[in-house]
Amino acid sequence: MIAMRQNTAPLPLGLLVAGARRSIKQAVTKRLRGQRLSHQQFWLLVALHERPGLSLRQLAERQHMDSPTASRILDLLARRGLVRMEDDPADRRRRSIRLTPRGTGLAREIHPLALRTREAIQAGFNEAEKRALRALLQRIIANMRRFEKDGRRRPGEASPARRTL
């Protein structure tokens, strides 16, 4: 019988990042059964519990999602009576997102799950490793934002840095 040689090439980073995200999503979703919350709704409620009064833009940036997605999720939460929008007295153009009393109660109930999830994610990492991983993940996010912007150009069009006059 011939033994098959396993491919020893390292997995692409994108697959590993996606796998980590999927593992977090599945772990949270499993623990949310009975709450009638998606993992995205869960994390938005947690963010508003931890940082009340964020604007839509601030919340979307914090959660690394686009504003239309955050807006759709907030609409669902508002229909359930969990969040409300308020005028910002310091800036008439800005609206603050706040938890309702019902939303605050639910956020207090689910917040320990967010803390446990964060602890599980970083289990076994020392402080230097956590700092390094944060920096590397932020670099991946920045790289992908640049890649997304580059993708808006037509094929064959030079990037702005490479254009010559």
Residues forming beta bridges with residue 98, ordered by sequence position: 84
Position 161 scores a pLDDT of 57
Convert the pLDDT of each residue in 41-86 to its tens digit: 999 999 999 999 999 999 999 999 999 999 999 999 999 999 999 9
Position 150 scores a pLDDT of 85
Convert the pLDDT of each residue in 104-115 to its tens digit: 999 999 999 999
The CATH architecture assigned to 36-123 reads Orthogonal Bundle (1.10)
Mean predicted confidence (pLDDT) in 132-161: 82
Percentage above 70 pLDDT, the chain: 88
- pLDDT higher than 90, residue 93: no
Position 164 scores a pLDDT of 47
Convert the pLDDT of each residue in 12-47 to its tens digit: 999 999 999 999 999 999 999 888 999 999 999 999
Burial (CB < 10 A; 0-12, 13-18, 19+), residue 97, is buried
Residue 116 or 95, more confident: 116
pTM assigned to the model: 0.81
Beta strands in the chain (DSSP E): 83-88, 91-99
| Residue among 131, 154, 150, 153 at smallest CA distance from 142 | 150
